[in-house]
Structures are given as structure tokens and as C-alpha cells.
Structure 1
Amino acid sequence: MAFPTSSGSSLFKLSKKSSQRFTPSAQEYLASLKAADDDALAREQARSHSPTPARESYAHTTGTNYAPSIASTPALSFASTAASTISTPTTHAAQLEEDDDPLLVPDTPPTSNDPPPTALHSEFGYCNNEQYRYTSSYRPGTSLLPQHQDPPMTILLATYISYLFLIAIGHMRDFFGKRFWPAYYKHLQPADGYAALNGDFDSFYTRRLKLRIVDCFSRPVTGVPGRTILMYNRVSPDFNVTFKLTGQLTRALNVSSYNYLGFAQATGGVADAADESIRRYGLSALGPRLEAGTQDLHQAAEALVARFLGMEDAMVVSMGFATNSTTLPAMVSRGSLVISDEYNHASIRTGVRLSGASVRLFKHNDMSSLEQILRESISQGQPRTHRPWKKILVVVEGLYSMEGTFIDLPGLMELKKRYHFYLYIDEAHSIGAIGPHGRGVCDYFGVDPREVNILMGTFTKSFGAAGGYIAGNKVLIDRLRTINHSFAYAESVSPPVLTQLTAAMASIMGVAPPLPPAAVGAPGTLIPASAPYVHPGPAPASILPQWMHLPPLLLSGQEGATRLRRLAFNSRYLSQGLRKLGFIIYGHRDSPIVPLLIFNPGKMPVFSRLMLAANTHPNAVPFVVVIVAYPATPLITSRVRFCMSASHTKADVDRLLRACDKVGDLLDLKHGIPKGERWTVEEVVDRAVELVKME
């Protein structure tokens, strides 16, 4: 029995033993998948012979007006024609997997009552159980202070000793190596008359510490970074100095990518829209926005972003890092004061340094520390002259990527009303990922976004695209369009990326249906783009390009709502489950970023390699995890950072918890709560729904 792709080749073959173990519902799943893909191939061939490649809507192509409720909507319920044209290493590599690979076969296959999914299960997991849903919103009274728990003193002492030992051994190897193997160290010396490009410690840290575990970083991958990911296997014959590919690939569960809502797919309605935009617009706008690089797609995307955020206007740029590093110098300069959270991203720090403004740091998410700096800065003014500051700008992040903590927005807004400073919020990781409507921290805390002066975010996480945005009042945005370097000089966002973010954002918002003829006096008239907008609400259909036809589940917002609730459940389940198992976990429980503290440098590579080895328990699968160490984190707080996604199923999180439980016992990582208060991993798995609802 074979599992066919839409191109006719076998994706993977099921052995006779494994096919006998399939239930009738699984057989129905395979049969319906084959039929749907054959139908998609026929439609794609018919479209390729048409002179106008305009995409028809889902209801027209399938001949049905199917629009189920959220309760009966599977994870991949929308049609796609992209699968029929995909030819990537994924198809070849999947044949290397075992016959009954759980990463390719749904744990709970669809039934005949569900519309047949045509996207690969490896991109977005099938989960139709409404119990595994949760709404992300702030519960009044929940503490927003950083929940940082210290390990036992023995762990801290062992961590410091480990670093001292590694540094001492590294210096000893350098001392003897320079005398007995001078040819090896010759390339480290600068040429005659030139200064060294790298500092001594930078060179030493890279060669003697990072090199030992560099196999855990920058692992080459291929294919779609969805629920699973394909990784190239490699070996090193010279102790991680160089690597050689073995020619084989490993499919692993992906808990590392910023694919929060699972829109990083090669199949589905959003991917179809991006594919159609390439046919119509090509791959690039070939110019900056202030020259010939502004297209109708840019204007539509900016109008949609402004409505999505509830702001007057917005501008989009082609790079997330540049959104911060070029906007801050355009807003503040010498004589201004920037008050920044000590854990703010490097892009914010870069932008502040380029601006020439004075900067002061306050303790992470500590409103009392911020208030003390505000009182002192306002009363004392500028250094030496004591003149008032031209402006005071407080810069924070909505969700901190290394800590997994939300900004204390209610406390921050109270200070803003009292001290009248400008507020800049970086929502790179929070926009689209949290809140009942996916609108970020303002939605999560129930704060009017118009009370925030500047909202910044990126499209590289929740929307599966690239670039970033700045949103605020129209006067500010118009000014930034003329002086922001990333807008005036950099290449504008490419058309397929614009289409990807527009389609993904519209599917989260939902698209308002046409008004009845009696309401506007003309048959089929759509809600105009200039119509009053009530935030948070659906997007007017007139904002979207006329050629963009999204499936009904995306147009109605049902698919987006389901993804938001799946992400909220997965995030809270993993965070709560790891805590109950005894691990030290940073961050808030609704955060899709879940940092697990490792501390000891020697345990970082072991954790990463054990998770990838897939031998942590009998039914384990490989996991690709991200380990983070100095200088991205403080020296003694190295960690593994899990990134949850709506594409993961409850069974995926179960596997991850079982693997972490086994590795945690082997490496002695459970120092969060006493043994008597811990749950067993099976108890965590069985009581998952109860655990998620716990405060």
C-alpha cells in the first residue's frame, strides 16, 4: 500500500504489518487524500493550459459551498493546488523514513465526515479535538514579574567550575599549540602591518568553547519548516572544524522555528495566493518605495496592517531587524532620552546607538525601576546643562524572545498616563501569536492600541513571511516614510511576501462579506476600504486584491481562530507540563516561547544530541531543538528554547514531554519543585486539559 503524492510518486511505503494495524478511518484518510490530490492535479493541469491563470475560489473549484463550524474543522481543511507542483528533496528524503513514521501519519486520522486534507500532515498536524483548544488572554491578578527561579547552589557552583575548567584547558592548549604546532596558529595572526580583526577573547571563545558544540548550531535543513523539518545528516572528521554531508536526511519534529500559527506551509489557500502573485507580479518590485518600488500590494498591505492593529496608518519594510535599527534613529536624536528594558533585542540597541540619543536601562519588566528612572530623568533633565529632554521614549518588547515573558502593559500604561512619555512596543514575537483575536499584547491585556504611540512588529513569525512594520498616527507614519532609511533606500518588500502576509493576516481577521444591495444601493457592493472600522473586526473585502480568492474557512476567520486556540493550548500545555515535571522554566504560561534552563555548559550539547538521537524512550521521534548560551544569555543561564506552533498536535507535545522527562533525569535538570510535588509524565499527559486550565 502506498501513500501517493499529487505528482504520482510514492511518498512513503507502508509495510504489510503496519498496513494491517491501520483502522478503517486511517484507510479512509489515505484514500481521500489520494482522491483530493488527483483532483488537484487535474485542476492544475487545466489551469496551466488557460491563458489567464486567475485562481477560482474554493467553492467554485470544488463545486460545494461547504462551510463547517469550528468544532468540525480539521487542522488542514482548505484546498490547495500547490501540492501538485512541489518537487523538493522532501519527497526523496521521506522515503528514507521508517514505514510507520509517526511524523508522517496522523495519530488520529480524519474521518469520512471531514473534508479531505490535501496538504502533507508533516507541515501541519491533524487535530480535530475541541478539548485541545484554549483562548489566550490576560487573567486579572496574574503576576507579570519575571518568574526567574534560582537553581540549588551546587548547580551554580558546578556551572562556574565548568566554565573555569574549559577556559583553563583552552589556554593550556593554546600555550602548547603555539610552540609545537605553529603552522596551525599562523592563520590566526594578523598580516604584517594590520590590526587583528577579531579580539583575543572572541577568537578564544570561538575556537575553544563554541567549537566543541558547534555541531548543535546551524544544522542545515531543507524543505518546509512546518510541524516537521528535514535535516541533512553530517559528520566531522576533524572535531567540528569542518563537516561533511552523509547524503542522508532525518525528519524531525520541529520545535525551533518561529512558525507560531503554522502559516509557513507550501500548501493551502495562503500558499496558493502567494503562488498566484508570482505569476502576476514576479518576484521583486525592483526599487525602493520612494522611487518605482511602490505597488498596489504595498498600499493594500499597509491598509490591512493598520486595521489589524487598530492604528491610523502603517508602513512596511523589507527586513525585521532594520525596522528597529532604522526607525529609532528617525524618531530620536541627540537631546532625546531612550529608556530601554535591559533585555531588549539587539536591533533596538543598534537603533538607539545610531540615533545619538542618551539611553538608560531599567530592570527587566520592573515598573518600579522604570518609574524611578523617569522621576530622576524628568526632574534632573539633561546631564550638565539640566535642560529638559527634547523627548523621552520608552522602548519595550511585547514578548521577550529569550525569556518568554510578556511586558507588564497595564503597569506601563499607568506610568504613561502619569509621566506623559512616548511608548514604543516591539511586537516581533507577540503579534499574531497572543490575544483572543491574535492582535498582540494590546489584545491580550485589553488595552486600546491607540493609547500606544508606536507599534512595531515583524512578519517573519506568525505570518510566515518576511519584513516588518511600524504603525502609529498618520502624521508620524508620513514623516517616517520620508526619513526612514529602510523605507527610502532599501529594496521594497517583494510581491509574494506581501501576498503571504496579506492572506495570512486576512485569515486571522476574517473578511467581511458583501453588503446586501439594499444597504448600498448596488448589487454585490463590497464594504469600502474607507468605511468606519471597529477594532478588532473583520477586514473589508475591498482591501484585498480582486484576484485573491481565499477558501471559505480562511475568509470567515474560522481557520485563523482555530490556529490561535491551538497555539494557546500547545504553549500553555508545554509550559505547565515541564513545570510539573520539575524543570526550571522561565516566562509566562501563555507564551509560545518556553525556555528550559540547563545552566551547565556541558549539558547543552548532550541535551541537543539526545533529543535528536530519538532514543529517549521506545516510541520517541527526533527533535530539533535550539540551545542558547553566552553571549545571547547571561553566562550561567544557558537554556534550551522551545517554540510552540499551532501546527503541533497534542500528541506531539506528549512526545516532547516524555523526551524531556527522560533527558532531564539523565542530566539532573529537575530543580524547579521538590520531588514530592512533581507529577509523573504519564499523569501530565493524561491530565493535559486540566493542566492547561490551571492558574
Structure 2
Amino acid sequence: MGKKSQKKISNEIPKEDNNDSKAESVPFYVLITTYLSYLILIIFGHIRDFFGKIFKSGEYAYLRHQNGYAPLNSDFENFYQRRMYLRIRDAFNRPITNVPGRTLTLLDRVSHDKNKTFELTGTTTEVLNLSSYNYLGFAQNKGPCADAVKVSIKKDGITTDSPRMVAGTHEIHRELEKLVARFVKQEDAMVVNMGFATNSTTIPALVQKGSLIISDQLNHSSLIFGARISGSKIRVFKHNDMKDLEGVLREAISQGQPRTHRPWKKILVMVEGLYSMEGNILKLDKLVELKKKYKFYLYVDEAHSIGALGKNGRGVCDYWNIDPNLVDIHMGTFTKSFGAAGGYIAGKKKVIDWIRLNSHSNIYAEGMSPLVCQQIISSFKIIMGEDGTSDGKKRIKQLMDNSRLLSTELKKMGFIVYGDKDSPVVPLLLYNPAKISAFSREALARKIGVVVVGYPATPILSSRVRFCCSASHSREDMEEILKRISEIGDLLQLKVSTRKNIEL
């Protein structure tokens, strides 16, 4: 590490120095070799299928009509899984056997049939954990949060055995909802026992036929799913591009609804505070300016940003120092920064009351487990300093230090890295599909647990490894991680960046 990497990083975030999320263009030779790799895989895959269907027809029977039944999987749709994913399957879904904290214990496994099946060896491997969303380090089985949960189990049990609207609203639910509302500075909040359902069942309660949803092109699937089942018209704008959003808004407002050209009943813009695959932070300052100008409703998904961004951990509004009341609907999850499960919706009391009456998660789904509520309450109080310590502030500071260090040092080494340097999610580009599994295997050999991602979860040219920083890692951990990643980068020839003079 150079002297610059050891500079003290304050909790105050200099915005003028943090606009580093513009993606670097792909080097031409990397582009060509990546396309060639896919082309070779596809050609040889089809050749193997051609001869396999002739000489090993039994292995392909499930892709043909049988006894009058159509195949559940088509030959074409199944090709990627058979000929590409299967080759690198060992890099995904590795089973674990402990708390996903600073380290992670993996169950070792082997395959004797080219990744079609796996069997456990009975041994384990402990790795430094850069794969879990344990941003503030609350994924723990000891400490004040775990102690409070133990007491909660004895007092309240583990389930309410009923939907919230029937007999499943426990006093601890209301305690948590009031705490969430206070934390995000809103009038009221509603908690849901599943993060995905928080979005997918709330959006249909807010907008219906005759409304328009304008969605960022990289929004999470829960937002997309909720938008589709709402019955609203959907338009998409370029990722985090406020100029493109303004163009979509101007056209939508001027043209109105299709055919009739009547004004839209509602216009709802849906965005995320932090995009977990790109590491980009929402340009909320510019978005709020558009909101004041065009008078649309704003829905911000803070699944990854709540707890992880801002000097107080209050998310993207805190990060940009913007009044939270300028956002109409605040959504967040407890699965990342709080070491728990579920999600929340916060806003004006009348709006939240309406959602309670119309959200399927509140009407049909079982209420959040009391012990999960207690975990969230305890972590909230630590973050807010209401436990009588400064532990929460230290965690937020440590997370930001680790995020900046990892992002900046990787760029200095010559890797192509996406995202803002204050993002706890740091994507490192791999490009070539063969390097997806190669990076994962080399990282495991060096005792680092990582998540690798490829097509179709990313564009075909944007295979990547996604590092998730955590406050549970010390500076020494991060320096050791950087050293090992550099070794892998040299081995796999990943240091292809053309940018120079990266400064912290």
C-alpha cells in the first residue's frame, strides 16, 4: 500500500470527488477475445448436441415430446444451461455452515460427473467473506443483538401464525415500525417479512391502470415484477441518467395516455438508492430537481443503501443531505445492513395506512417473526447510538473506509472497476466467460469468498466478480484481500485498465 492509501477518511463525503461511476470502455482485444470465447462455446456446444442426439439419444429424451407431453424445457432455452453454465457451476451456490460474518465456512464438495451433481467431502474451508451483504457487520451469533434475540425467543416465540390483518400484528411489529419511521424521518412505516414481496406487493397498491411507471433500466426484479402486475404502463430510462429521464417525462406528460391522450392518473418514478450489480449511487440531488419541476411521485428502493450510505447510515437522502420528505415512498430491506430479514415501506401516515389495507403482504402473508424484529430493533439502536455507545458510528465509518480503500486500490492496480467509491458493492470486470469460474476457484484457493456473476444476470460482455465490503473487516484484512486479488489479476490477466493516476 502507498502512503495515499493510508490517508484518514472522514465520515463527511466530498461529492465533487465521488463522481467516479462512469464505466470504462472495454479494451478492443478484450472485446474480441470475449466474443470469440462465446462463439467457440456455442459452436462446439451445437456440435456435441448434434452427435449426442444421434448416439446418446436417451440423454436428450427430456427435451422431446414423450407420451403426448410437451417438454418442460425447450432444446433452445436449455442450451445455455447445458453447454455453458454447467461448465462453471462449481463457482456458484457453494453451501455454508456458519454465520456469514467476517469469515465464512464453506462445505467442501466435489463432482464426479462434470458438475451435474455434487457430493460433500466432509471437510470445510474458512474464507474471508466478501460475498455476503453484511455491510455493518450485524451478522453475528454473539453480542448485544444476539443476546436480545435470545430473550425475545423466550418472551415472544418465533412466529405469530397469522397474517398481519387477521391476528398477526404483534406489539413488537408496531415498535419496529415506529423505530423505522423515526430513523428514515417519515410519519409511519410498515414492515414485511420478505424483501422481494415488499416491492412486488406494494407497487400494485400505489398505482393501477391509467398510471405510468417510469423505471430505471437496471432496477431490481422485485420492482419490475411489482410494476408489471400493477396494470400500469411502464417506460424505462437509461441507468441513472437524469437527462434521459427528463426526456421520457416530457414525452409522457405531453402525449398522455395511449390512444386517448388523457393525462396520466399518476406518474411514479422508481429508482434504487444503490444499484447492487453496478455499485452506482443514485443521483438523488438531480432527481429531486426533476421532481420539483415535473411533479411526479418518487419511489426509492434503499435495499442496499439504508444503513450503508450517509454519515448517519440513513441511506441515500442522508448521503446527499436531502430532506427525506422529498421522497414519497421509502423502501428498504433488513437483509443487508441489519443482519436480519424482511423489508419496510415508509412515508406519509395516510399513504402507509392505505398500503396496509391493500398490500397482499399485509393481508395474506404471515407477519414478521418477533425474533427477527428484535434483531432489527437492536441493530437500529446501535446505529442510532441509542445503546449508549459509539459502536454504530464506528461501523459506518469502517464500512466507508473499507469501501473506498478496496475500490481505489483495485483501480490503482489496473483492474476495471465499476461504481462509486463510497459504494460497499465493488464490481470488478472479468469479461471472458472462462474467467468467471477461474476467478472463483483461484479466490477459493487463496481463502477468499466471492460472488461471480455472468450472463444472463449481466450483459454478455460484462461478466464480473462482485465484492461486498463489510465493517467487520479490519484494515489488515482489506490489505491482505487486495494482495491476493492482485495475484489472481496477474494470473488471469485482468489488469487491463487504461486509466492512469487514480487518486484516493
Aligned Cα RMSD in Å?
1.4
Structure 2 residue corresponding to 1:562, chosen from 378, 383, 394: 394
Q: Is the CA contact 1:285–1:293 (under 8 Å) kept in the aligned structure 2?
A: yes
Specify the code of the residue in structure 1 equivalent to 2:485. C
Give the match for residue 41 of structure 1: none
Q: Does 1:651 align with 2:483?
A: no
1:239-638 correspondence to structure 2 within 5 Å: 239-511=114-386, 555-614=387-446, 622-638=447-463
Deviation track 1:505-547 (CA, whole Å, cap 9, x = no partner) reads 1111122xxxxxxxxxxxxxxxxxxxxxxxxxxxxxxxxxxxx
Q: Is the CA contact 2:415–2:428 (under 8 Å) kept in the aligned structure 1?
A: yes
Specify the code of the residue in structure 2 equivalent to 1:202. E
SS in 2 for 1:588: coil
Q: Which has the larger radius of gyration?
A: 1
**Shift of residue 142, structure 1, vs aligned partner:** 4.2
Deviates more, 1:197-206 or 1:582-591: 197-206
**Shift of residue 194, structure 1, vs aligned partner:** 2.7
Specify the code of the residue in structure 2 equivalent to 1:316. V
Q: Matched residues in 1 for 2:91 and 2:11: separation?
A: 33
Specify the code of the residue in structure 1 equivalent to 2:399. L
Q: Is the CA contact 2:18–2:421 (under 8 Å) kept in the aligned structure 1?
A: no
Q: Matched residues in 1 for 2:313 and 2:462: separation?
A: 31
Q: Does 1:670 align with 2:502?
A: no
Specify the code of the residue in structure 1 equivalent to 2:148. A
**Shift of residue 408, structure 1, vs aligned partner:** 0.4
Q: Is the CA contact 2:160–2:369 (under 8 Å) kept in the aligned structure 1?
A: yes
Q: Is the CA contact 1:227–1:253 (under 8 Å) kept in the aligned structure 2?
A: yes
* Gaps in structure 2 of 5+ consecutive residues: 1-5
The alpha-carbon distance between structure 1 residues 506 and 631, as it changes in their structure 2 partners (threshold 3 A), is same
Give the match for residue 117 of structure 1: none
Deviation track 1:634-660 (CA, whole Å, cap 9, x = no partner) reads 011000000000001111111111111
Specify the code of the residue in structure 2 equivalent to 1:623. I
Q: Is the CA contact 2:64–2:70 (under 8 Å) kept in the aligned structure 1?
A: no
SS in 2 for 1:423: strand
Please report the TM-score for the alignment, with normalisation by the length of structure 2. Answer: 0.97
Q: Matched residues in 2 for 1:184 and 1:255: separation?
A: 38
The alpha-carbon distance between structure 1 residues 258 and 363, as it changes in their structure 2 partners (threshold 3 A), is same
Q: Is the CA contact 1:424–1:455 (under 8 Å) kept in the aligned structure 2?
A: yes
Q: Matched residues in 1 for 2:20 and 2:480: separation?
A: 31
Q: Matched residues in 2 for 1:632 and 1:557: separation?
A: 41
Q: Is the CA contact 1:261–1:463 (under 8 Å) kept in the aligned structure 2?
A: yes
Q: Is the CA contact 2:63–2:73 (under 8 Å) kept in the aligned structure 1?
A: no
**Shift of residue 557, structure 1, vs aligned partner:** 4.4
Please report the TM-score for the alignment, with normalisation by the length of structure 1. Answer: 0.70
Specify the code of the residue in structure 1 equivalent to 2:342. G
Give the match for residue 116 of structure 1: none
Specify the code of the residue in structure 2 equivalent to 1:189. R
The alpha-carbon distance between structure 1 residues 453 and 628, as it changes in their structure 2 partners (threshold 3 A), is same
Flag the structure with more relative contact order, 1 or 2, with Cα contacts below 8 A and sequence separation at least 6: 2
**Shift of residue 672, structure 1, vs aligned partner:** 1.6
Identity of aligned residues (%): 55
SS in 1 for 2:210: coil
Q: Matched residues in 1 for 2:456 and 2:50: separation?
A: 25
Q: Matched residues in 1 for 2:340 and 2:354: separation?
A: 26
Give the match for residue 225 of structure 1: 100
Q: Is the CA contact 1:146–1:364 (under 8 Å) kept in the aligned structure 2?
A: no
Specify the code of the residue in structure 2 equivalent to 1:508. I
